C-alpha cells in the first residue's frame, strides 16, 4: 500500500474545512452525542477499515481530511450499500456519474463497489466540484449530493451577484432538496464530533484495514478457486473484491484479484505456479 504519513494530532490537523457553529449543525451534533451516540461510535470503528486508503488519497491530492467522513454520511462505510435511488458503494455513485468518472460498470465488474477505485473517482470529482464552485467545500459537498447542475441553477437564480463561498450555502440551502440541506450540516457535525469521541472497546475495535496483494488471473477465474488456493474462507476473498459482482473474473481478459496482504505468492502458486504477482501499490 502507499505509505500514509502520520498526521499531527489536535485541533491544527482538523482545520482544512471551516466547521461552522449554527443551529442546523448543532441539531446533528446533539443527535450524534445523544440518541445516536452508540451508532456514531460504531461508525467511527467501521471507518478504520477504509481510513488508510481514503486518507492516503486525500493527502496525495492535498485535500481536506474531513472528507474521510463523507462515506459515513453516504453509505455508513459499506461498499455494498445500495440506496433506494440505486446509488451504489462507499461514495454512493449513480451509474451515469460513475461511468462519466471512468469507473467500470458491466455484468462482471461494478467499480462503484471497489473501495479504491471509487475513492479515487470520488476525490477527483470533489476536487473538480471545489474548483467549479468558487473554492467552497460546502458548495462542493452540496453539489456532490444534489448534482452540480441542480446546485448551479439554484445559485444562478438566487445568488447570481454573490461570491460563491461557504457562507453562501446557508443563504441558498432553502432552495435545495431536503437531503442536501442536511448534508453539509451533517458533514460539519461529524467532523467536529470525531475529535471528541474516544473509540470504546468492542469486538469491532479490531477491524482489519483494507490491505491486499494483487494477483492476475485468467478470465473466468472463480473467487472460490482463489480462496481454495489460499486455504482461506471464501468470505475473506469476497470482502476484498466487492466489485467482482459475479464472484468470478470477467471472461476473455487477465484480471486482478485482491488477496490478503502477504498471501499473493501462495495464491499464485496454488492456482498455476506461473501467474504474475503485483503488490497493491503497483
> Where along the chain do its domains lie?
16-204, 211-279
Catalytic-residue membership of 74: yes
Domain topology for 16-204: Lysozyme (1.10.530)
Selected residue with higher pLDDT from 87 and 9: 87
pLDDT value at position 206?
Answer: 59
110 has which bridge partners? 105
Query: How would residue 207 be classed by pLDDT, with cut points 50, 70 and 90?
Result: confident
Mean pLDDT of all residues in 149-158: 98
Instruction: Please write the tens of the pLDDT for every residue from 210-254.
Output: 999 999 999 999 999 999 988 899 999 999 999 999 999 999 999
Distance CA 261, CA 174 (A): 48
Q: Are 209 and 54 in contact (CB under 8 A)?
A: no
The dihedral built from the CA positions of residue 28, 92, 81 and 196, taken in this order, carries a sign that is negative
User: Pick the catalytic residue: 74, 111, 120, 182?
Assistant: 74
Mean pLDDT of all residues in 126-148: 97
Instruction: Please write the tens of the pLDDT for every residue from 52-66.
Output: 999 999 999 999 999
The candidate with the shortest Cα–Cα distance to 40, out of 207, 209, 192, 211, is 192
User: Is a pLDDT exceeding 60 seen at residue 277?
Assistant: no
User: Is a pLDDT exceeding 50 seen at residue 44?
Assistant: yes
215 has which bridge partners? 257, 277
Amino acid at each position: 500500500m502507499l505509505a500514509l504519513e502520520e498526521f499531527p494530532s489536535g485541533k491544527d490537523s482538523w482545520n482544512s474545512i471551516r466547521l461552522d457553529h449554527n443551529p442546523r449543525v448543532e441539531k446533528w451534533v446533539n443527535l450524534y452525542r445523544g440518541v445516536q451516540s452508540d451508532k456514531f461510535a460504531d461508525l467511527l470503528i467501521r471507518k478504520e477499515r477504509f481510513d488508510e486508503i481514503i486518507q492516503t488519497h486525500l493527502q496525495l491530492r492535498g485535500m481536506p481530511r474531513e472528507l474521510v467522513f463523507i462515506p459515513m454520511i453516504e453509505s455508513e462505510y459499506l461498499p455494498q450499500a445500495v440506496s433506494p435511488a440505486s446509488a451504489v458503494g462507499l461514495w454512493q455513485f449513480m451509474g451515469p456519474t460513475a461511468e462519466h468518472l471512468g469507473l467500470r460498470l458491466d455484468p462482471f465488474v461494478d467499480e462503484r463497489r471497489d473501495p479504491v477505485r471509487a475513492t479515487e473517482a470520488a476525490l477527483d470529482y470533489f476536487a473538480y466540484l471545489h474548483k467549479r464552485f468558487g473554492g467552497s467545500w460546502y458548495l462542493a459537498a452540496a453539489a456532490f449530493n444534489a448534482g452540480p447542475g441542480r446546485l448551479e441553477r439554484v445559485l444562478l437564480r438566487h445568488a447570481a451577484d454573490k461570491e460563491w463561498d461557504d457562507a453562501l450555502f446557508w443563504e441558498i440551502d432553502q432552495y435545495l432538496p431536503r437531503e442536501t440541506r442536511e448534508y453539509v450540516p451533517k458533514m460539519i457535525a461529524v467532523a467536529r464530533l470525531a475529535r471528541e469521541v474516544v473509540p470504546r472497546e468492542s469486538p469491532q475495535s479490531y477491524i482489519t484495514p483494507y490491505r491486499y496483494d494483487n494477483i492476475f488471473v485468467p478470465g473466468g477465474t472463480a473467487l472460490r478457486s482463489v480462496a481454495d488456493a489460499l486455504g482461506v474462507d471464501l468470505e475473506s476473498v469476497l470482502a476484498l473484491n466487492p466489485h467482482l459482482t459475479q464472484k468470478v473474473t470477467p471472461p476473455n481478459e487477465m484480471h486482478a484479484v485482491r488477496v490478503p496482504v502477504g498471501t499473493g505468492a501462495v495464491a499464485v502458486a496454488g492456482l498455476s505456479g506461473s501467474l504474475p504477482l503485483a503488490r497493491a501499490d503497483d
